[in-house]
């Protein structure tokens, strides 16, 4: 369940950047630094606690995750010992990632669900607030009773 969300969040990290950054802000090797989960499920507090335990486990597995954005417009992401490569391009606020499976991930500035990506100096912060992300077998976090589900990933250069 939760690992699906963790992979989504990591992928989402590759789908945007802050409004004020230029190419040089994102270029470099980013190393996983921290992971937090703030969730609320008033209809099922036991499910809320279960998610927090899974978040703790996911944080352990994310240790060692790296993403390197190169100046030649390619990237290398390593997670769970697996490496993915692709290319990226940026024009103004528009940031596009070309994944190896041929899928393009694109965004223009901020996300409709309130999620955000920011680059400040040597810190890359990704916040996902997507209650409509799939939780389990087609059920979203919102449908599962969550009123808050905020995942924060921090990477450092």
Question: To the nearest whole number, what is the mean pLDDT of the chain?
Answer: 77
Q: Look up the pTM and report it.
A: 0.71
**Is pLDDT at 130 greater than 60 in this prediction?**
yes
* pLDDT tens per residue across span 11-28: 444 444 444 445 677 889
Please, are residues 100 and 86 in contact by the beta-carbon 8 Å criterion? yes
Q: What is the number of structural domains in the chain?
A: 1
Structural domain harbouring 134: 2-156
Residue 116: strand pairing partners? 127
**Is pLDDT at 29 greater than 90 in this prediction?**
yes
Q: 95 falls in which pLDDT band (50, 70, 90)?
A: low
**Mean pLDDT highest for which of 67-76, 83-92, 100-109, 124-133?**
67-76
Of 153, 141, 154, residue with least CA distance to 40:
141
Instruction: Give the CATH number, domain containing residue 95.
Output: 2.40.128
State the distance between the two ends of the chain, measured CA to CA, in whole angstroms.
29
The residues, ordered by sequence, that sit 6+ positions from 104 with a Cβ below 8 Å of its Cβ are 96, 97, 98
């Amino acid at each position: 369940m939760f690992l699906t969300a963790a992979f989504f969040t990591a992928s989402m990290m590759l789908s945007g950047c802050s409004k004020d950054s230029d190419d040089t802000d994102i270029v470099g090797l980013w190393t996983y630094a921290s992971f937090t989960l703030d969730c609320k499920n008033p209809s099922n507090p036991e499910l809320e606690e279960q998610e927090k335990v899974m978040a703790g486990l996911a944080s352990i597995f994310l240790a060692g995750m790296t993403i390197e954005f190169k100046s030649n417009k390619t990237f290398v992401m390593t997670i769970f010992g697996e490496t993915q490569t692709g290319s990226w391009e940026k024009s103004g606020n528009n940031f596009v990632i070309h994944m190896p499976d041929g899928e393009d991930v694109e965004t223009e500035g901020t996300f409709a669900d309130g999620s955000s990506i920011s680059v400040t100096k040597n810190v890359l912060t990704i916040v996902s607030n997507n209650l409509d992300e799939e939780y389990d077998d087609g059920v979203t976090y919102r449908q599962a009773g969550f009123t808050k589900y905020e995942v924060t990933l921090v990477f450092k250069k």
